[in-house]
Amino acid sequence: MSGILNGNSKEEPMHFGEVFSVWQTSVMARGAVSRYQAFLNHAGDKDLKKVLNSLIDQAELEIKECDTLLTDNGIIPAPIMPKRPDAKLEDIPVGARFSDPEIAAHIAADIAAGLVACSQVMGQSIRVDIGALFAKYHLTKAALGVKILEITKEKGWLVPPPLQIKRPETVEA
């Protein structure tokens, strides 16, 4: 057994947790591409659309890299989802539209969940290449998270939790 885990990380077998995490990431990225394509149809703000396009590009990269990793290890990836058709914002009834602030909040939550998921895979991985791959995803998601936070603040879309304006006086004991 000790010989199996020596040498080139890419030649080491994946353990069941790594297999599931890589497969799950690919599946989640497929859903993200579909969701973000739909959000692009609803979004009106150009900055928000840029972030959505960046998120789609990142999700497509994750699908490609995770599916390659799975295939190289004899695991069949999940089926590809069809691309959503483009729609014009004006064609979507007002009551059925997602607003830009709703879209921004949703993608911010997605990014936060993605950061946690990447950290979990990094922590469970014994293959260095898989840990490094998810560290790369983590870094990209963190940068996209900063971008969406900046946009939500700039546009006035951020709904902060209760803020501590008055701080209690400290008492020396």
Name the CA radius of gyration of the chain, rounded: 20
pLDDT digits (tens, 9 = 90+) for 54-73: 999 999 999 999 999 999 99
The predicted pLDDT at position 5 comes to: 65
Backbone φ, ψ for residue 21 (5° rounding): -65, -40
CB 116 within 8 A of CB 60: no
Task: Supply the mean pLDDT for the chain.
Answer: 93
The predicted pLDDT at position 1 comes to: 46
Instruction: List C-alpha distances in Å: 36 to 84, 99, 119, 123, 153.
Output: 10, 13, 23, 28, 21
137: its two tokens: 């995803």
The stretch 76-83 carries a mean pLDDT of 90
Helix (H) / strand (E) containing 9? none
The predicted pLDDT at position 15 comes to: 94
| Residue of 14, 30, 52, 44 whose CA lies nearest to 131 | 14
pLDDT tier, 122 (very low <50, low <70, confident <90, very high otherwise): very high
The predicted pLDDT at position 119 comes to: 98
pLDDT tier, 4 (very low <50, low <70, confident <90, very high otherwise): low
